[in-house]
Amino acid sequence: MSLVDSLPYQVPLTFGRAALRVNRWRAERAAPRSKSEHLAPPLKISPRTKELIARHYLEGRYANRHRKVAWVTSGAPVELLKALDFYVLYPENHAALCGTARAVEEIATEAEHAGYSRDVCSYARTDIGAMLSGKTPVGRLPKPDLLLACTNICQTVLFWYRVLAHHFRVPLIVIDTPFIYTEATEHAVKFVQRQLEDAIPLAERVAGKRLDERRLKETTRLSKQASELWLEIMARGKQRPAPISVFDQFIQMAPIVEMRGDAFTVDFYAAMLKEVDERIARGIGAVKDEKKRLLWDNLPIWYRLRYLGEFLAARGVAIVASTYTNAWGELAPFIDPERPLASGARTYLHPILNRGTGYKLATMQRMVAEFQLDGAILHSDRSCKPYSIGQIDQRDRLLREHNVPALLLEADHNDPRAFSEEQVANRLEAFVEMLGV
């Protein structure tokens, strides 16, 4: 691409990036203030998070003019695409962003009007609604040249990506990861590795370039480093008081999901870990008067993060660990940068969502012990069946066999129409009372 040709891309991007940097500097200079008297001030890294996310979508806005674009599922082996210089968009993250921006009702309605049932996943409805209407809080989404769906988080993504492939008329790569009821079989690992190998020629053809093995190893190394740092940050929640809450983690997890394999993501989490350690040294807790500590299971309720955080903090309850945020770190030990495809097959087979309900219960029990938790909130998420089925038994086991108070909270991760504030408040109030706060 010549200099002249690149101007329509480079000029707005350069100005946009500069504007975002200025915004961050301004936010960093202002003393962070808590929005609630019961919560610590927001992390100082927060303006940088906002800048990273805004920059990511800014680049996406102009990406079609000079890069190949891939839309991928959150558990997809993105290292392959990063190594081929794709701009990578995560529709699930975009949907969550719509959730925090309270834009879901309007956007998802577009999909419902087109015939998509309200019984299908609200992330999918949000993104299909955005695809059909162009409505998005980020300005504009780039069109995909390639789609990559990995079944390790749910089967929903398969059907969702079939809709995308049909609409955009672009190739879809499916990486099918057989569900692990107890242990992964060797033929399942081989199957995933073969699919990763088979995906390369198509991805190369769309990218218009050959995959550089050194680049793939480097991207994989960066993914591993970022995942390890994220895991370390979450482990700091074992401190009393916990320096960050799960609500902070939900906000700060965007880069580990959608910017894995980038050097700046490693730098970001290194800086975040430093800040968290500073908080520990100064005895700062995410909840000012931490009396009880809880576990969160399942996806967040994106459109009520602040409400839930403040509601619980006002009662001295801190949610300090989560099976969901943990999922983005616990795979780090599987990653071997020297064997990106072989280790990738095992890594991408093993997310918590691709493992049995017993494994999830064991994870919860381990976290309850390690983080010294007083109870658990299990978000029964009508938009995420693979995460939610099993929760009734998991809650019963936590209660009966491990004496861990546990609450099943009915909601939806992205659709506010499935959230009854009064009912949730009543149930939380009763649960907190039972904890003896």
Partner 1 sequence: MNTSADSVPPLPHRIETIRAHQARGGRVAAVLPIHHPRALFRAFDILPVEVWGPPQVDATRGGAHLQPYVCSIVRNALAYLLSGGLDLADLIVVPHTCDSLQGFASILIDFIHPAPPVLPIYLPRGRRASDVAFLAEEFKSLYRQLAEITHRAPSDVELMECLHREEEADARLADLYRRRAALPQKDFYRLVRSREYLPAEKFSEIVGAALRAAPNGRSQGAPLPTPILLSGIVPEPMAVFDALDRMNAAVVADDFACCGRRLYPPGKSDDPFTRMAERLLTAPPDSTRDDAIEDRLQHLIRLTKESNAKGIVFYDVKFCEPEFFYLPALRKGLQAAGIPSVTIEIDLNDSLSQQVSTRLEAFVEMIA
| DSSP state letters, 144-170 | PSEEEEETTS-SHHHHHHHHHHHHHT-
Instruction: Enter the tokens of residue 205.
Output: 């053809």
402 contributes a contact to partner 1 by CB under 8 A: no
Considering only residues 66 through 95, tell me which ones interact with partner 1, judged by CB under 8 A: none
CB of 200 to partner 1, least distance (A): 13
Instruction: Enter the tokens of residue 410.
Output: 């009915």
Instruction: Enter the tokens of residue 133.
Output: 């209407």
Contact 256, 330 (CB under 8 A): no
Task: Report the C-alpha gap between 94 and 139 in whole angstroms.
Answer: 11
163 contributes a contact to partner 1 by CB under 8 A: yes
Nearest to 177 by CA among 4, 6, 348: 348
Q: Please identify which residue in 158, 202, 271, 280 interacts with partner 1, judged by CB under 8 A.
A: 158
Please say which residue, 1 or 389, places its beta carbon nearer to partner 1: 389
Q: Please identify which residue in 105, 133, 390, 399 interacts with partner 1, judged by CB under 8 A.
A: 390
Q: Please identify which residue in 5, 212, 278, 393 interacts with partner 1, judged by CB under 8 A.
A: 393
298 contributes a contact to partner 1 by CB under 8 A: no
194 contributes a contact to partner 1 by CB under 8 A: yes
198 contributes a contact to partner 1 by CB under 8 A: yes
Considering only residues 320 through 349, tell me which ones interact with partner 1, judged by CB under 8 A: none
SS3 category, 376: strand
Task: Report the C-alpha gap between 116 and 134 in whole angstroms.
Answer: 17
To which H or E segment does residue 80 belong?
Answer: helix 79-83
Beta-bridged to residue 351, according to DSSP, are none
Q: Please identify which residue in 152, 195, 249, 343 interacts with partner 1, judged by CB under 8 A.
A: 195
Give the count of residues interacting with partner 1 (CB under 8 A): 50
Please say which residue, 150 or 259, places its beta carbon nearer to partner 1: 150
365 contributes a contact to partner 1 by CB under 8 A: no
Considering only residues 98 through 157, tell me which ones interact with partner 1, judged by CB under 8 A: 114-117, 119-121, 124, 151, 154-156
Task: Report the C-alpha gap between 382 and 420 in whole angstroms.
Answer: 13
Residue 359 carries which DSSP code?
H
Helices (H), 151-245: 156-168, 186-207, 213-235
Contact 313, 287 (CB under 8 A): yes
Please say which residue, 264 or 359, places its beta carbon nearer to partner 1: 359
CB of 192 to partner 1, least distance (A): 9
Instruction: Enter the tokens of residue 102.
Output: 């309270």
366 contributes a contact to partner 1 by CB under 8 A: no
363 contributes a contact to partner 1 by CB under 8 A: no
388 contributes a contact to partner 1 by CB under 8 A: yes
168 contributes a contact to partner 1 by CB under 8 A: no
Q: Please identify which residue in 176, 228, 232, 277 interacts with partner 1, judged by CB under 8 A.
A: 176
Helices and strands, counts by H and E, the chain? 19, 8
Task: Report the C-alpha gap between 303 and 77 in whole angstroms.
Answer: 28
235 contributes a contact to partner 1 by CB under 8 A: no
To which H or E segment does residue 407 belong?
Answer: strand 406-411
Q: How many other C-beta atoms are found inside a 10 Å radius of the C-beta of residue 386?
A: 18
187 contributes a contact to partner 1 by CB under 8 A: yes
SS3 category, 110: helix
210 contributes a contact to partner 1 by CB under 8 A: no
162 contributes a contact to partner 1 by CB under 8 A: yes
Binding site for partner 1 (CB under 8 A): 114-117, 119-121, 124, 151, 154-156, 158-160, 162-163, 165-167, 174, 176, 178-179, 181-182, 185, 187-188, 190-191, 194-195, 198, 356-358, 361, 380, 382, 385-386, 388-393, 397, 410
